[in-house]
Structure 1
Amino acid sequence: MDATTTTRTTVREATLDLLRELGMTTVFGNPGSTELPFLDRWPSDFHYVLGLQEASVLGMADGYARATRRCAFVNLHSAAGVGHALGNLFTAYRNAAPLVVTAGQQTRSLLPNLPFLGASDAAQFPKPYVKFSIEPARAEDVPAAIAQAHRIAMQRPYGPTFVSIPSDDWSAPCQPVVPRAWFPDASPDPAALSEAVRAITAARRPVLVVGPEVDAEGAGPALVALAERIGAPVLTSPFSSRLSFPEDHPLFAGHLPASPQSVSDALIAHDLVLVIGAPVFTFHVPGDCALFRSGIPIIQMTTDAEAASSAPAGTAILGSLHLGLPALAALLPPASRALPAPRPRPSPPAASTPVTAPYALHRLHAAMPQDAILVEEAPSHRPAMHAQMPIREWGGFFTMASGGLGYALPAAVGVALANPGRRVACLIGDGSFMYSPQALWTAVQEKLPLAVIVMNNSGYGAMRSFSRVLQVRDAPGIELPGIDFVSIARGMGCAARTAATPAELDAALTEAMAAKGPMLVEVSLDNGAVASLYDKH
Structure 2
Amino acid sequence: MDQPLTRPSTTGYTAFVDLLASEGVEYLFGNPGTTELAIMEAIGAQSKVRYVLGLQEGVALGMADGYARASGRLTAANVHVAPGLGNAMGSLFNAKFYGSPVLLTAGQQEQGHGLTEPLLYDPLVPIAQPLVKWAVECNRVEDLPRIIRRAAKVALTPPTGPVFLSLPGDVLDATACLDLSQPTRVDFDVRPAGHSLDKLARRLLESRKPLVIAGHELATRDALDEAAEFAEVLGAAVMQQTVPYAAHFRSGHRAFLGALNRNQAQVRARLEDYDLLICLGADVLRMSVHSKIDPLPEGMPIVQISERDWELGKNYPAEIAVKANVRETLRSLNALLRERMTAQQRSDADARLEEIGKHNWEVRRAQLVEQTVKLANTTPVDPQFMVMTIAEAVPKHAVVVEEGLSSTFKLLDYLRLNDHQCYFGLASGGIGFAMSGAIGISLALPDRPVVAVVGDGSAMYSIQALWTAAHLKLPITYVIPNNRGYRILKERLVSFRKTDRFVGMDIADPDIDFVGLAGSMGVPSRRVEAPQDFSGVLREAIASGQPNLIDLRVANGFGG
Please state which band the TM-score falls in when normalised by the shorter chain: over 0.9
Matched, 1:296 2:325: no
Q: Is the 8 A contact 1:102 1:165 kept in 2?
A: yes
Matched, 1:456 2:482: yes
1:417 paired residue among 428, 433, 443: 443
**1:93 maps to what in 2?**
96
Q: Is the 8 A contact 1:37 1:168 kept in 2?
A: no
Paired residue secondary structure (1:406): coil
Matched, 1:332 2:361: no
**1:393 maps to what in 2?**
419
- The amino acid that maps onto 2:520 is G
Structure 1 residue 289 displacement after superposition: 5.1
Paired residue secondary structure (1:498): strand
Cα 1:222–1:501 change in 2 (3 A) is: same
- The amino acid that maps onto 1:462 is I
Matched, 1:444 2:470: yes
Cα 1:472–1:31 change in 2 (3 A) is: farther
- The amino acid that maps onto 1:105 is Q
- The amino acid that maps onto 1:9 is T
Matched, 1:341 2:350: no
**1:152 maps to what in 2?**
154
The aligned runs of 1:71-86 (5 Å cut-off) are 71-86=74-89
Root mean square deviation of aligned Cα:
1.9
Structure 1 residue 141 displacement after superposition: 1.0
Instruction: Give the Cα separation in 1 of the matches to 2:69 and 2:415.
Output: 21
Indicate the larger mover: 374-383 or 23-32: 374-383
Normalised to the residue count of structure 1, the TM-score between the two structures is 0.94
Instruction: Give the Cα separation in 1 of the matches to 2:388 and 2:5.
Output: 71
**1:497 maps to what in 2?**
526
Structure 1 residue 288 displacement after superposition: 4.5
Paired residue secondary structure (2:484): coil
**1:507 maps to what in 2?**
536
Indicate the larger mover: 337-346 or 79-88: 337-346
Instruction: Give the Cα separation in 2 of the matches to 1:397 and 1:440.
Output: 20
**1:124 maps to what in 2?**
126
**1:208 maps to what in 2?**
212
Instruction: Give the Cα separation in 1 of the matches to 2:75 and 2:226.
Output: 26
Instruction: Give the Cα separation in 2 of the matches to 1:56 and 1:115.
Output: 26
Matched, 1:522 2:551: yes
Structure 1 residue 479 displacement after superposition: 1.3
Paired residue secondary structure (1:24): coil
Matched, 1:379 2:405: yes
Instruction: Give the Cα separation in 2 of the matches to 1:415 and 1:501.
Output: 30
1:340-388 per-position Cα deviation (integer Å, ceiling 9, x unaligned):
2342222242202332111122222222111000000011133321222
Paired residue secondary structure (2:58): helix
Matched, 1:162 2:184: no
Q: Is the 8 A contact 2:7 2:179 kept in 1?
A: no
Matched, 1:483 2:483: no
Indicate the larger mover: 435-444 or 394-403: 394-403
**1:19 maps to what in 2?**
20
Structure 1 residue 527 displacement after superposition: 2.5
Q: Is the 8 A contact 2:383 2:408 kept in 1?
A: no
1:139-189 per-position Cα deviation (integer Å, ceiling 9, x unaligned):
321232121111111011111000000012122224122224323403234
Cα 1:110–1:229 change in 2 (3 A) is: same
Give unmatched runs, 5+ long, in structure 2.
none
Q: Is the 8 A contact 1:367 1:513 kept in 2?
A: no
Cα 1:58–1:291 change in 2 (3 A) is: closer
Q: Is the 8 A contact 1:222 1:326 kept in 2?
A: yes
Q: Is the 8 A contact 2:271 2:296 kept in 1?
A: no
Q: Is the 8 A contact 1:275 1:301 kept in 2?
A: yes
Matched, 1:55 2:58: yes
- The amino acid that maps onto 1:341 is G
Structure 1 residue 497 displacement after superposition: 0.3
Cα 1:6–1:141 change in 2 (3 A) is: closer
- The amino acid that maps onto 1:420 is P
**1:198 maps to what in 2?**
202
Instruction: Give the Cα separation in 2 of the matches to 1:508 and 1:93.
Output: 36
Paired residue secondary structure (1:70): coil
Indicate the larger mover: 425-434 or 310-319: 310-319
Paired residue secondary structure (1:332): helix
- The amino acid that maps onto 2:410 is A
Structure 1 residue 117 displacement after superposition: 2.4
1:52-95 per-position Cα deviation (integer Å, ceiling 9, x unaligned):
00111111001101101101011111110000000010010001
- The amino acid that maps onto 1:302 is S
Indicate the larger mover: 411-420 or 340-349: 340-349
Q: Is the 8 A contact 1:371 1:422 kept in 2?
A: yes
The aligned runs of 1:151-300 (5 Å cut-off) are 151-172=153-174, 173-185=176-188, 186-288=190-292, 292=296, 294-300=298-304
Structure 1 residue 465 displacement after superposition: 2.8
Indicate the larger mover: 100-109 or 35-44: 35-44
**2:109 maps to what in 1?**
106
1:404-445 per-position Cα deviation (integer Å, ceiling 9, x unaligned):
111011011110011113200001111111000001100000
Structure 1 residue 16 displacement after superposition: 2.3
Instruction: Give the Cα separation in 1 of the matches to 2:295 and 2:406.
Output: 27
Structure 1 residue 3 displacement after superposition: 11
Instruction: Give the Cα separation in 1 of the matches to 2:514 and 2:200.
Output: 52
Indicate the larger mover: 22-31 or 475-484: 475-484
- The amino acid that maps onto 2:357 is A
1:46 paired residue among 49, 71, 78: 49
1:192-236 per-position Cα deviation (integer Å, ceiling 9, x unaligned):
332221111011000101112111111111111111111111000
Structure 1 residue 264 displacement after superposition: 1.6
1:323 paired residue among 324, 328, 332: 328
Q: Is the 8 A contact 1:498 1:508 kept in 2?
A: no
Instruction: Give the Cα separation in 2 of the matches to 1:37 and 1:233.
Output: 56
Structure 1 residue 470 displacement after superposition: 1.6
Q: Is the 8 A contact 1:275 1:299 kept in 2?
A: yes
**1:534 maps to what in 2?**
none
Q: Is the 8 A contact 1:374 1:398 kept in 2?
A: yes
Instruction: Give the Cα separation in 2 of the matches to 1:424 and 1:260.
Output: 33
Identity between Structure 1 and Structure 2 (%)? 33
Q: Is the 8 A contact 2:434 2:452 kept in 1?
A: yes
Paired residue secondary structure (1:128): helix
Q: Is the 8 A contact 1:142 1:165 kept in 2?
A: no
Q: Is the 8 A contact 2:268 2:297 kept in 1?
A: no
Instruction: Give the Cα separation in 2 of the matches to 1:189 and 1:476.
Output: 58
Q: Is the 8 A contact 2:281 2:307 kept in 1?
A: yes
Q: Is the 8 A contact 1:259 1:286 kept in 2?
A: no
- The amino acid that maps onto 1:393 is D
Paired residue secondary structure (2:129): coil
- The amino acid that maps onto 1:177 is L
- The amino acid that maps onto 1:175 is L
Give unmatched runs, 5+ long, in structure 1.
531-537
2:145 paired residue among 143, 146, 150: 143
Instruction: Give the Cα separation in 1 of the matches to 2:506 and 2:255.
Output: 40
Cα 1:210–1:285 change in 2 (3 A) is: same
Q: Is the 8 A contact 2:219 2:421 kept in 1?
A: yes
Instruction: Give the Cα separation in 1 of the matches to 2:413 and 2:490.
Output: 20
